[in-house]
Amino acid sequence: MGRAAHRIGLSEEEYLAFERAADERHEYADGEIFAMSGGTWEHSLIAANILRELSTALLDRPCSASGADMRIQIPATKRYTYSDVLVVCGQPVFTDEKHDTLVNPVVIVEVLSDSTESYDRGDKFEQYETIPSLRDYVLVSQKKARIEHFVREAGGTWQRRVAGVGERVTFESIGCEIDVDRAYVKVFGARADAP
């Protein structure tokens, strides 16, 4: 989670009003808001690559991918978060008519950073696990080509799979897969702005 912002003791309604008027993004937990820190070039590029790959793979399917601007509400705890990439299938369900807070993601992707890795693996994952629609949780390294894919099994337990260079991540819940190498295009080699 990011650093605590200057506002505490907020209701959900106050948080949403504050967030909708803010220039930067904030997560919300138990009446407190937390400013989201900016990411590195690698973080941004990996998230964009994964969003592109999923969006392309889902063109002819009843699912859509979205980037980091889509807020997620955890219905069980009324926590509000942001992911790097998410996928929703069928009709998206929002908290209100603003259509800026989703409650039914099927896939959530987080690109790990030094400042958020323990949160993404721990409390944030525990929060996400309570979302009934969620089937896949994905943690993506920005230090090496490594994607951890957690799949919710029929009994509710999570199966962890790890994919690296030359491998693919299969999303049975949305009927597609992505190539790990394509998730890291231009990340570890020449920079995108290199001649």
The pLDDT tens digits of the residues spanning 4-54 come to 555 678 999 999 999 999 989 999 998 999 988 778 999 999 999 999 999
For residue 92, the model assigns a pLDDT of 97
SS3 93: coil
| Averaged pLDDT of the chain | 92
For residue 95, the model assigns a pLDDT of 96
Residue 191, pLDDT > 50, answer no
Q: What is the CA 75 to chain-centroid distance, rounded?
A: 16
% of the chain surpassing 70 pLDDT: 93
Q: CB of 69 within 8 A of CB of 117?
A: no
Q: For residue 20, what is the enclosing H or E element?
A: helix 12-21
Q: CB of 87 within 8 A of CB of 54?
A: yes
pTM for the predicted model, two decimal places: 0.92
Indicate where the chain has its CATH 3.90.1570.10 domain(s): 39-183
The dotted CATH code for 39-183 is 3.90.1570.10
